[in-house]
Structure 1
Amino acid sequence: MKDDVIGDYLRELLKKLQDNSEGEVAAYIPELAAADPEPFAVAFCTNEGQVYAEGLREGDAEREFTIQSLSKPFAYALALKEEGLEEVARFVGVEPSGEAFNELSLDKATKRPMNPMINAGAITVNQLINGEESSVEDRVNKILEFFSDLAGRQLRIDSDTCDSELETSDRNMSLAYMLRSYGMIQDSAEDAIVSYVKQCSIMVTVSDLAMMAATLANGGVQPRTHKQVCSRRVAIQVQAVMASAGMYNAAGRWMASVGLPAKSGVSGGIIGTLPGRLGIAAFSPKLDEAGNSVRAKRVFEYLDRDMGLHLMAPEKQGRVAVRSISTVEDDQTSGGSQGKRTVIRLQGDIDFNACEKIWRTIQEHDFESENVTVDLEKVDEVNSVGKRMIGEFRDRLVRNGMKIEIVDPDEVLS
């Protein structure tokens, strides 16, 4: 049995938001200014490596775009992995700046960039990777290898966007000169910016970003390859800084409304992590005044409304939701397969992650009978999205010719 409840939900969400035409594409980089403004896509990656990706138009979910500032948390993770938190903290702070991404701002006392999510901090972080003596080529190769490990596939750099961005990098160059004057970077300003712009020019899809975000959410373990890409402590540190500074001068509003560690990029992507559970990515090129994708931001707002994602919400988390699936003799029927009944026993707290696992288990099961009982006797609680998805499971099984009985003695679905 193959059906896609989650894909249908994501497509429905994209269609709800398709008429939103607010914002403008990033104009200060020629390649981005010439980009198609219409692509719209979203992807989930669970902590088990299951990816759900959908686009509004055919090809949107597979479209590659440059990672831009979405690279910042991952480069920060690599610097922490190589140098350790104490050494990185000598050069980059963790306090939200409350300023735009490209402000010429440093801590007045220490002369460090305020955090690794603004450009000054990201340029400094880039220069810590592979050591101060590293060539640009070796440093970029190390970053590309690490990002590829996070995504679970080999990524590449787009030379056209890189060249275009280097032609208009005067502001970043001024940041590099300022950082060099205070001893925050040792390389030449020119080499520092070439290295940083190449980092920003790595090509990704929404599925790649969801997988990369899920690796952070999964304590540094890549959900599909199971490789420990970075330590659990590093993953926690990166997500903590994303929560306070990932959305620049809109970070406070984001944390209050959506409530997830997140990061945006001027190519139109936004990533979010639900620690221990999900990596989420959305992509649409038109940006608001803070440099965040308008439609991608709305996707996250809808997801929080539908699924209760906010970290401050008192939602219980579903883990092993399917207690058992068994085939029993059915006293209500007689003869052949009609004399059998499939019993699906659920347990614990049912949320999105639990429902995703339930539906995947149902799809993979070889049913011997059209008679199915879903037993909720051991279920403690079902949140709003869990109720919606269980109802959708029931409806789809009925459309596939099943006869469904739901046993709910404690009325957890009511």
Structure 2
Amino acid sequence: MKSEQSSLFDAVLAAHARYGTAEGGANASYIPFLAGVPSNLAAIAAMTVDGAICAAGDADYAFALESISKVCTLALAMEDVGPDAVREKIGVDPTGLPFNSVMALELHNGKPLSPLVNAGAMATVSLLRASNNEERWQRVLDMQSALAGSPVTLSDEVNKSEQATNFHNRAIAWLLSSADSMFCDPMDACDVYTRQCSTLVTTRQLASMAATLAAQGRSPVTGRQVLKCEHVPCVLAEMTMEGLYERSGDWAYTVGVPAKSGVGGGIMAVVPGVMGLAAFSPPLDDAGNSVRGQLMVADVAKALGLSLFDRR
């Protein structure tokens, strides 16, 4: 095991050295807070299913979780209502369109299709069991912390920036409601969704989230069974199909591990039974995925032969 950890550490260091300063992409500009994050930041981390962790770069810098939070809320919905209800009420197919697409809703009669695009994520929030909106929000935050194995906190600054600019998501929430695809007050769901995207995590915490999924829902940090092991394959399937939005197929083809990106610059990837990988760097490609993050995670996956589709 020691030699395996040494190989992993070498791969992480090499990936950061190769791609931590790669050119290309730009910070998300439609959320003022994200536009101001230093674009030179870059980090990568890996955590094995037994809790060993290695990292390189700015791995302790706390950044906005953004759309990676959709995985956490999907996991919670799986626990609350089960995979069949998620499949029936939201859908489990890729949209083939951008993450904030209204056209995708129109083309499918108001059904979101995927919990990992904005429409599906808000509908997922609305499925959660809660007596009021604050309880719904607290349960989402608790799931993020449980997956990370350490406290995750809301950034008031990020939340204010996002709440002030989330008019498009509010419109999507009302469209969902009009199509009977929203299961609580639409503005409550939009509010919680906006908050869940506004929490801060480090790259180390993100690697822990990924490792929890790799360990069949059991946190390598705390030992807690965060979600039922039978729900993990459903979450990973969604990450494979929609985790990098319209680039998800290309990622599966070339890298071969389930992953999820966020416009805050984070990416997490899961190698079932082996490890979780996480990377962070703010400049994004035109689909909303971290340019350096993709390169670093892909480099580690290639170096260690982690593709699920190539078991030579």
- Computed over aligned residues only, the root mean square deviation of the Cα atoms, in angstroms, reads 1.8
In 1, Cα distance between equivalents of 2:105 and 2:286: 22
Distance 1:310 1:110, change over 3 A: same
| Residues matched between the structures, number | 308
Residue-by-residue CA offset, 1:347-389 (whole Å, 9 max, x unaligned): xxxxxxxxxxxxxxxxxxxxxxxxxxxxxxxxxxxxxxxxxxx
* 1:15-414 superposed matches below 5 A: 15-55=17-57, 60-104=58-102, 105-106=104-105, 108=107, 111-131=110-130, 134-315=131-312
When the two structures are superposed, what TM-score results if normalisation uses the length of structure 2? 0.94
- How far is 1:183 from its partner? 1.6
In 2, Cα distance between equivalents of 1:69 and 1:172: 13
Gaps (5+ residues) in structure 2?
A: none
Instruction: Kindly indicate whether the alpha-carbon contact (under 8 Å) linking 1:107 and 1:114 is maintained by their aligned counterparts in 2.
Output: no
Aligned with 1:90: secondary structure? helix
- Percent identity over the alignment is 37
- Between structures 1 and 2, the one with greater helix share: 2
Aligned with 1:113: secondary structure? coil
Aligned with 2:112: secondary structure? coil
For the pair shown, the structure with the greater C-alpha radius of gyration is 1
Instruction: Kindly indicate whether the alpha-carbon contact (under 8 Å) linking 2:123 and 2:183 is maintained by their aligned counterparts in 1.
Output: no
Q: Which amino acid aligns with 1:274?
A: V
Instruction: Kindly indicate whether the alpha-carbon contact (under 8 Å) linking 2:90 and 2:113 is maintained by their aligned counterparts in 1.
Output: yes
Aligned to 1:399: none
- How far is 1:185 from its partner? 1.4
In 2, Cα distance between equivalents of 1:256 and 1:52: 26
Aligned with 1:175: secondary structure? helix
Distance 1:92 1:270, change over 3 A: same
Q: Which amino acid aligns with 2:63?
A: F
In 2, Cα distance between equivalents of 1:107 and 1:227: 41
In 2, Cα distance between equivalents of 1:23 and 1:109: 31
In 2, Cα distance between equivalents of 1:97 and 1:160: 31
- How far is 1:108 from its partner? 4.7
- Asked which structure has the greater RCO (Cα within 8 Å, sep 6+), the reply is 2
Distance 1:19 1:84, change over 3 A: closer
Distance 1:224 1:10, change over 3 A: same
Instruction: Kindly indicate whether the alpha-carbon contact (under 8 Å) linking 1:107 and 1:113 is maintained by their aligned counterparts in 2.
Output: no
Instruction: Kindly indicate whether the alpha-carbon contact (under 8 Å) linking 2:13 and 2:55 is maintained by their aligned counterparts in 1.
Output: no
Instruction: Kindly indicate whether the alpha-carbon contact (under 8 Å) linking 1:26 and 1:32 is maintained by their aligned counterparts in 2.
Output: yes
In 1, Cα distance between equivalents of 2:55 and 2:133: 34
- Between structures 1 and 2, the one with greater strand share: 1
In 2, Cα distance between equivalents of 1:18 and 1:151: 24
Distance 1:208 1:19, change over 3 A: closer
Q: Which amino acid aligns with 2:92?
A: V
- How far is 1:8 from its partner? 4.7
In 2, Cα distance between equivalents of 1:102 and 1:110: 16
Instruction: Kindly indicate whether the alpha-carbon contact (under 8 Å) linking 1:217 and 1:276 is maintained by their aligned counterparts in 2.
Output: yes
Instruction: Kindly indicate whether the alpha-carbon contact (under 8 Å) linking 2:218 and 2:226 is maintained by their aligned counterparts in 1.
Output: yes
Gaps (5+ residues) in structure 1?
A: 316-414
- How far is 1:176 from its partner? 0.3
